[in-house]
Structure 1
Amino acid sequence: MEWCKIIVVDDEYLLRQGIMHMLDWEKYGFTIVGEATNATQTLELIEKVRPHIILCDIVMPNIDGIELSKIIKKRYPDIEIVILSGYDNFDYVKTAFKYGVADYILKPTLTADQLLDILIPLQKKIGQPVCDVKKEDDAGKQLLKMLEDKIIDEQLISNCFNESEYTIIGYQQCTNDSIDVSLVNDKINETFRDYKYMYIGKSQNIHIYIINHKSEQRLAINDKWNQLTINLENIIITVFLMKIDTINSSSNLLKAYQEIKNLSQYHFYGYENGHISVTLETYKCKDRLQFDTKEFMHIATSDPVSALEYLETYLNKLTFQNGLMGNEIKAIVQNVIYNLFNIIFINEDKYEEVNTKKILFFNNISNAITLKEIIEYFNEIKDYIESLINIGTTSRMMQQILDYINNNYKEQINLQEIAKEFHISYSYLSAYFNNHYKESFNDYLNGVRIQKAKEFLVEPSVQISYVSELVGYSSPNYFTKVFKKLTGYTPTTYRRMYMK
């Protein structure tokens, strides 16, 4: 089948990833052939992959989605464009329809069903074949359809198989390296040629075989499995195989099919030898171990190093039985590291270096195949972030902030302005004052101002109302109130005491 080709255009990395993993695209006759972050990349990508449909964000740097749509429709009138909008303002996006845009979608409320409701009609319009498994008459594909629908058709099963037990074998390409899939298929066919077996197709990028055999042939099937893994040893790095055996009923066949689709999860959680053999009773999953993002951010605002250790502890607790899906864990790690970089202070001379590190880290996490790889990449970025803090970056930053306060205490400065001036999180800066100085920023600023006021008050020629203005208070009465609170005396009494 020739797939309907789609490219995703958005300058937000996480949104692109969300769309790309929102659907089992091939199940519906689509395939994602590329992604881009701006107009230039999009036009270059179009020349290379010739997509049928483009999902394009309306707000992008330099050339926005509307202008890009105009360019695309002029050069490639047959390409269908769907605009992605961040907010519901039809007046804002209707301009795009003048240039031939097919439809628009609201990003905040986007669901898989909404996306399909728009894409499938476009798929038919451009003449690409729609993936309609109802029309498939091949026995294997009928079985796949049956298992996908979770409806057991005993007649179909009896037409395909006549022995009492089943073994399911699935394999998946685990890297972007190209492999000869036909080689794997040939090895499976060669290994099990003495048994009734059937290739039923591919689901979620997993190729699935069903082997039908007698119960007394279990050991022989296991021997054949071991032979298969040895024969595929040379390409086992790029392919992960899974076998589920001791399936002795139609209902268990359905359960085994659902389990084989967890193949990538088994591999993700540490089965690094390239294959695994299980039964339906091998693993009992526990409640999923959720990550407390709110608690992480609470820790991060006061102690980024402890926050990193909090995430590290979470990752090390994950197992197949209680873990989230691989893509969910990737999103957690990427999001918390992104937020952590926004919290800690980074000197201007390190911006380029830090951005390079961040991009490399996000790419590594996106391409990671196993949890072990994610932990290794996390440990690298953890060491790097700790080095930024431990070499005194934060201490130097705080000294710069204190110097800024000492030089500008007479101005109407506040914590929000300082946080913006030094490119640091407001919440982190606020927590830093509370934790390191045991007082709020306002208390610290008042302390600086009153100390300066004492220096001015020893000069009898300077009026007290003017002293108030010199140290940043617009109201002399408020100045007097703060001065008495911190010193125990009014400014007038303090001056008299000093003059004596």
Structure 2
Amino acid sequence: METTFCKIVVVDDEMLVRQGIIHLLDWEGEGFQIVGEASNGREAFELIESQRPHIILTDIVMPVMDGEELIRLVKGMYPDIEVIVLSSFSEFEYVRSTFQSGVADYILKPRLDAASLLAVLKKTAQRIPVLQQVDWRNDKRQSADYILDKLISGYPVEYEAEVLQGIFPYADFALVIAETGEEAASVGRKEEWLENSIRSLLQSGGMPLVFRRLSTVEGHVRLLFNLNVDGREALIRMAEQVFAAGIRAHMFQSLAVSRSLTDLEQLHTVYSQELMKLLDHRFFLPEHSLLVDSGGEVQQGAAFDQDAFAAELNRQEFDQAFARLSAYVSSMSGRRDTGVSEFKSFLCHSIFQVIGMLLHFHYEAKALDESKYEYFRSIHEARHISETEARLIQFLQDATECFMKNRGGTPAMQKILLYIDENYSRQITLTEVAKEFHFNPSYLSNYFALHNKEGFNEYLNRARIEKACLLLKESPDLSISEISSLVGYSDHSYFTRVFRKLMAVSPSQYRKG
């Protein structure tokens, strides 16, 4: 006679809490079966119609739809379903009010251990009429699904090898992930289509493969294939056929095939560290939605020369710096040696650098600075390398317009400002700079005022105070007097007066602030 399990849906907005509960017990060994999980009440309610659980184990405080509203809906439409509430100490009064809606019991999260949870569940299950005859003894054998779910999730599990040997006749394994782009609660039709398509191909082609669907998480349908040593080619051929049909039918966005493995204890590593990384790199491979991990080493591409980029910006060689950055981003298409988050962070940092240098050299970049967070947002939301490249091109065009205006200056003016920026720490004077560039001091003073929005002394003081601000924040071991000397002021009291005038606070207040 088929075993009757008490079916449970777990609802909590924290994934770690859900996973902790799911892997807390040998559920089937105790007579229970986790048939679904959800991160809020709305997702849970969608699961109920398809899974018809006996018990819902739910948190109270959740986004979208909280536990209290979920309980009212469930008890109104499915009065036979029992609900157990998970809560913290601070929510006790809130939880108590849910008993008016027919909650069966509650359990405090801080006391959520296997024995306590199992006791509450068994007490609740015994109230359900269709489960009156269930054998609640603990001698039920672990199922293959339970064992495989533990292995792919990375939780320790002891099991009898015979359980898996009976369904997997071959020595090698491979994991296949279909990325649907939907939450687990919405992929039932796609799971069924995928299984039927694979089963049909295997039957018609006589391929030396068997497969088993694992639990679905985060919009990924996961399939474990068992193959003989010569079955790798057949698996890739089958994946190509399924992929082509699946894309046409809009069943999934991409398909990833792992390297072959012989030890199922490696399942979690292959899934979490290898296949997920492979799917992540589809960002750099927009034209490749069928991804196959051959198990070889990833070839390293050329690194970005950050020092050369910074030096070009500092010399105001913006055309060269922009060309360098653009070429590097273009080279990333097809590469697999850099993480997506790492790449996006690098790109945002580079934009920040460019804007900072434009402002430092007093180009009209205020509008660009105000729009930087919009650039950051669009880059972090980009789905493919082509989208980030297009956004970078737009930014570089806007930045080019800033420096092409040249703030009304001339090449000679640019060289004078660069000289000041490189020598501010010395006791340089207008006379010294005039001599360096073969100007009459009086003429240089007028020339500076004509081609720059600040006079010579104003610009020199601002350059020194900007550097002093950095030292005050980044070098706590340096005294204010030492910093004054390092940025070119021999008179500490004069430094303090200039600092207060430009920053509206004293150096010591700035350091504290």
TM-score, reference length from structure 2: 0.49
